[in-house]
Structure 1
C-alpha cells in the first residue's frame, strides 16, 4: 500500500502529545499551532469529561516539523513516530485520537497498523523455523 496524505493534511495537520490527565496522542487539522492547541484541549476535555484546565499538553508539532525530524523512508509515516533512537523508530503512536475525518490520514494509519502486524507475523515465522 502507498497511501498519500492529502494536501490538507500536509498544510494543516498538527500532532498533539498530552501528558495529563492521561498520556495520549491526537491529530487535528487547524490553521495555526494556537488553534490546534485550543481545539485539542477543548475536545479532549469533553471526551474525558474533565475541565479544560486539567488537560496538559507535552508538545504540538506540525506536519512539516514531524517530517523534518522523522526517520521513516515513507515521509508521511513520520507523523506517527513517537520515539526515535538513532535512525530507528522505537515507538509508534498507539491508539491516537483522530480529531478529523480526513480519509487519507485514516488510510495512512491503517497502512501503518498493517505494516506493523506483518512485521510481527514475519518475526513469529522466523522464530518458528
Structure 2
C-alpha cells in the first residue's frame, strides 16, 4: 500500500479551482496539489500556476478551500489518513465524494501513486456493486 512521503505530510497543500469547464456547462472543481513551506506561499504559487494554466489573471480565478495536509486529515474520515487528501464529500461515516480531476503540481511520486491506488480501489468497489445489482436482478 502506497504511503505519502514525509514531504507530503509536512508541506502538501490542496486548493479547489472552479474551472467552469464541465459537461453540460456545469462547473467542475479541479483539486490542485502542491508542496509549499507555508499557507501564504501555497496561495501565491497556486494563483500564479493556475493563472498560467487558465490563461487568465490570478484575480479572475475562482479558487477556494486552501487546505494543508493536516487540515485534510483532521477533516477527513477514511481509515487511511493519506487517502483523506482526496476526500471531497461525506454522509455520516461514509465518504461520498472523491477528487475527480486532480492537478498534481509537484514531482512527488507518492501523491500520484496514492491517487492511482484510490482509483483502483474505487474501480473494484464499482465492479462489486455492479455484480451485486446484477445478482439481485437475477434472483
State TM-score, norm by structure 1. Answer: 0.94
Question: Offset of 1:68 from its aligned partner?
Answer: 1.1
Other-structure match for 2:24? none
Q: Quick check: 48-57 or 64-73, which moved more?
A: 48-57
Other-structure match for 1:15? 14
Q: 1:92 aligns with which of 91, 98, 103?
A: 98
Aligned residues: 128
Deviation per residue, 1:104-129 (Å, 9 max, x gap): 00100000000000011111111121
State TM-score, norm by structure 2. Answer: 0.87
Cα distance between partner residues in 2 of 1:57 and 1:48: 12
CA RMSD of aligned residues (A): 1.2
For 1:53, what is the secondary structure of its paired residue? helix
Deviation per residue, 1:81-108 (Å, 9 max, x gap): 0111211111100011111010000100
Are the counterparts in 2 of residues 4 and 104 from structure 1 also a CA contact under 8 Å?
Answer: yes
For 1:101, what is the secondary structure of its paired residue? coil
| TM-aligned CA distance change 1:124 to 1:50, over 3 Å | same
> Quick check: 1:68 aligned with 2:74?
yes
For 1:34, what is the secondary structure of its paired residue? helix
Q: Can you give the 5+ residue segments of structure 1 that lack an aligned partner in the other structure? A: none
Cα distance between partner residues in 2 of 1:5 and 1:18: 23
Which protein shows a greater Rg?
Answer: 2
Question: Offset of 1:56 from its aligned partner?
Answer: 2.5
Q: Can you give the 5+ residue segments of structure 2 that lack an aligned partner in the other structure? A: 22-28
Q: 1:127 aligns with which of 112, 133, 136?
A: 133
Question: Offset of 1:13 from its aligned partner?
Answer: 0.1
Cα distance between partner residues in 2 of 1:60 and 1:14: 7
